[in-house]
Amino acid sequence: MRRFAAIPPRPQAATEPRKPANRPLSLEPESGVVTVDGAFHAVSLPIWLRIEPIRLLKRHAWITLRYSSGVFDDAVRPLIKFITNNGKELIQPMNAPVLGTAEWIGRIPNRTVSVSISPSNRLGPFSFQVENIDALTRRELIRTGLRTDPPWALWSLRSRLLNSREEAWQALKYARGGTRLDRYDEWRARFARPVDLAGFDRPRSDWGAAPRFYLLMSLDTADADGLRNTIASLRAQFYQRWSLCVRTNERVSPTIMDALRDQMRDDKRVIELSQVGKLSEALHDNDRIAVIQCGDTIENYGLAAIVELIAQQPRLALIYSDEDSITQDGTFHSPVLKPDWSPIFYRSFAYLGGLTCVRHDVLRSSGAGLNDMLSEEGKVRDRIMADIDAAAVGHMRRILYHNRDGKRELSFGLPAIRVRAQTEAGETIEWPKVTIVMPTRDHAELLVDATRGLQESTDYPCFDVVVVDNGSVDVAARAVLERLKNDTRFKILERPYPFNYSRLCNDGAAASDSPVLVFLNNDVQIFSTGWLKAMVRLATKPQIGVVGAKLMFPNGRIQHAGVVLGMGGIAGHVYRRGRPQEPGYLNQLTSVREISAVTAACIAVERAKFEAVGKFDAENLPIDLNDIDLCLRIREAGWTNVWTPDAVLIHAQSGSRGQERDPFLIYQRERSYFVRRWAESIRDDPCFHPGLSLFSQRPALS
């Protein structure tokens, strides 16, 4: 395995950084970037850095590229762009350096003439460098894939035999997959790096004008070693403007009290919460309040990273970060990599966790004091969440907080405020009329199963169905269509033009005037009577856009539980082929939750919202990715897409059309358009943490 390394570009200012002599590659500003005193500054978006010289990359087909970003920069996935000599442009998302460093495995396309990286999507200073590049062989990748995920490795070989090269390359990356969550300690050791505060990780803002942190801690379940460990982690902080406010009571042992007094004597920032009266007068509106547990620790750049986020977004009222746990022997495990603020999901799974920082004026406005925050943190946070705008909640997408084993667990549900899709006992709802749009062609057996489920197994009180026939010629299918005309709820719309899924759905929607639309594939089987109520109840909420269902393969495994942007390079299904009853990472499979996109095999959306964004894009996306595009335009317009586990259906997937031999070739134009249109969304799915792998259909580390 051959290795070579890269460096930042030659600075344009007088100060010349020290450069190792053995690094032949450099990153040169291509667009949107200037260098000042050797540092990158983004002056317009998008930003691109070109890797030079390109000849050193073109020697290889497959590579592992290792790179770093500054710990005070947003942990966003970089994009890598290849341009070939025929003008073809290929853009792919990379793994985010959430611990400071990351790696990307990929193939250099044939006839590549330019390779560029977009490391950030924000204006201002940023740090990024390529550490090294390892050359890989296809044989190595296949060998690794056969060990880690044999079905994907064999699918790669199958695609190669069919000359479907891009599908074979994608399957190889899936075969390699990510790092299992139970190997988090290895992953952390591989990618965490020391912080270079004077150089690469230099602060972006003036810390002298930043707020003070007041960290609240109870000694109810404390031990002396835990107390010392927590305070030691605070003293190691790069950002030193903090106070630790400790609450004691008569149950605290003399040994613990002696340890506390020793710490208070050594560091005046450690104080007793009994001084809260004097302390409250000293607090400024912009100071931050957080509860921490005795024995837990904070990453040494943790408070500094939050300060930098506050400098970027000063209106944030509440900030949370990611966390993990650590054993007595120092082994890290159980990473909690959270989505960006998702208020609907939060009602099912209170995932904010440790080191949730609340602005002091917001805490005061809620009617709560420091003692209240420490005693009933969850209730106080819920009260605050009910009164602030979603834009005032910030997520620091780095693992800043370390739970000592056995000291803290996230809540796995708040039943009193669970978002329920089914009608509660005694609740009355005026259900709106729904039109179900079902494109079809031939395959009588599929159409019979789908329509029987609507006629016999759907308890919704007022719906009709527009079956959009795309030129069925099969005798049995035509007979089924004729029989459906005898049911007054069914309307047959003949559309025998070349297959265009977007146009078929748009025509079906236009053939009705119902306020709610459901798009349903003809290869779906219904077995749960309440599925439609579960979806409509959510779709009719003012803030909700598209609602997706839980779809199962005929063998009972999960087919769809939401779409992740960037997965597989563009978009894909997470939890695919998962077990039907599993709860999912962070209880995602048992919770109504925000999602960037869902598959249109079964979706519900209000007509007004559907029409407001221009319906399905029949011109640019006639067959592929049109459902994802619709969801993203809905989200762009300000609505929130959700997935619900309360609507469960069976989906044969492409039952009418079958499986394409080479989808990358067939849908090349559509996929190229989609990537151009949604590149920034592909790189940064707010519902899927950037530290998770885009090439594992089970949540895994990138």
pLDDT in tens, 285-330: 999 999 999 999 999 999 999 999 999 999 999 999 999 999 999 9
Compute the Cα dihedral for 588, 592, 593, 595 and give only its sign.
positive
Residue 360 pLDDT > 90, yes or no? yes
Task: Write the burial class of residue 255 (CB in 10 Å: 0-12 exposed, 13-18 middle, 19+ buried).
Answer: exposed
Rounded mean pLDDT, 352-377:
93
Name the pLDDT band for 421 (thresholds 50, 70, 90): very low
What gap in Å lies between CA 343 and CA 544, rounded to an integer?
A: 12
What gap in Å lies between CA 609 and CA 698, rounded to an integer?
A: 32
Reported in sequence order, the residue ranges of 85-205 that DSSP labels E, i.e. its strands, are 89-93, 101-107, 112-118, 124-126, 128-136
**Residue 221 pLDDT:** 79
Rounded mean pLDDT, 130-156:
82
What radius of gyration, in Å, describes the C-alpha atoms of the chain? 27
Residue 11 pLDDT > 60, yes or no? no
Rounded mean pLDDT, 268-279:
79
Residue 4 pLDDT > 70, yes or no? no
Reported in sequence order, the residue ranges of 191-308 that DSSP labels E, i.e. its strands, are 213-218, 242-247, 270-272, 288-291, 297-298
Phi, psi of 379, rounded to the nearest 5 degrees: -65, -40
> Where do the H-state alpha helices sit in 550-589?
none
Residue 513 pLDDT > 50, yes or no? yes
**Residue 19 pLDDT:** 38
Residue 239 pLDDT > 70, yes or no? yes
Distance of alpha carbon 320 from the chain centroid: 15
SS3 at position 394? strand
Rounded mean pLDDT, 652-673:
67
Rounded mean pLDDT, 550-570:
95
Number of H helices, E strands in the chain: 21, 33
What gap in Å lies between CA 518 and CA 596, rounded to an integer?
A: 18
> Alpha carbon of 600 to those of 138, 195, 218, 257, 627: distances in Å?
36, 45, 50, 61, 5
Better-predicted residue by pLDDT, 581 or 406: 581
What gap in Å lies between CA 105 and CA 176, rounded to an integer?
A: 9
SS3 at position 100? strand
Least confidently predicted of 84-93, 162-171, 369-378: 162-171
Highest-scoring range by mean pLDDT, 127-141, 363-377, 410-424, 435-449:
435-449
Residue 20 pLDDT > 60, yes or no? no
Rounded mean pLDDT, 246-258:
89
> Taking Cα atoms as reference points, which of 130, 70, 41 lies closest to residue 305?
70
| List of long-range contacts for 632-635, beta carbons under 8 Å, 24+ apart | 632/596, 632/597, 632/678, 632/681, 634/545, 634/546, 634/605, 634/609, 635/545, 635/596
**Residue 56 pLDDT:** 79
Residue 9 pLDDT > 80, yes or no? no
**Residue 16 pLDDT:** 34
Rounded mean pLDDT, 335-363:
95
3-class SS letters over 295-364: CCEECCCHHHHHHHHHHHCCCCCEEEEEEEEECCCCCEEEEECCCCCCHHHHHHCCCCCCCCEEEHHHHH
What gap in Å lies between CA 492 and CA 451, rounded to an integer?
A: 12
**Residue 652 pLDDT:** 87
Better-predicted residue by pLDDT, 653 or 5: 653
> Taking Cα atoms as reference points, which of 480, 404, 414 lies closest to residue 441?
480
Better-predicted residue by pLDDT, 277 or 392: 392
> Alpha carbon of 157 to those of 141, 161, 288: distances in Å?
12, 6, 55
Residue 366 pLDDT > 90, yes or no? yes
Name the pLDDT band for 277 (thresholds 50, 70, 90): low
Better-predicted residue by pLDDT, 635 or 139: 635
Report the 10 Å Cβ neighbour count for 8.
Answer: 21
Token pair, residue 14, equals 């007088």
Residue 401 pLDDT > 70, yes or no? yes
Per residue in 187-236, pLDDT tens? 999 999 999 999 999 999 999 999 999 999 999 878 899 999 999 999 99
Per residue in 29-42, pLDDT tens? 999 999 998 899 99
What gap in Å lies between CA 381 and CA 587, rounded to an integer?
A: 20
Q: Treating both helix axes as pointing N-terminal to C-terminal, what angle do 138-148 and 150-161 enclose, rounded to 10 degrees?
A: 140
Phi-psi region of 273 (alpha: psi -120 to 50; beta: other; left: phi over 0): alpha
Residue 339 pLDDT > 80, yes or no? yes
Residue 47 amino acid letter = I
SS3 at position 688? coil
Given a contact cutoff of 8 angstroms between Cβ atoms, the answer to whether 75 and 398 are in contact is: yes
Report the 10 Å Cβ neighbour count for 101.
Answer: 17
> Taking Cα atoms as reference points, which of 585, 564, 581, 582 lies closest to residue 573?
564
Beta strand pairing status for 434-440 and 516-520?
parallel
Rounded mean pLDDT, 586-615:
97
SS3 at position 656? coil
**Residue 12 pLDDT:** 31
**Residue 417 pLDDT:** 33
Name the pLDDT band for 251 (thresholds 50, 70, 90): confident
Given a contact cutoff of 8 angstroms between Cβ atoms, the answer to whether 291 and 358 are in contact is: no
What gap in Å lies between CA 166 and CA 572, rounded to an integer?
A: 16
Residue 265 pLDDT > 60, yes or no? yes
> Taking Cα atoms as reference points, which of 70, 82, 8 lies closest to residue 38?
8
SS3 at position 533? helix
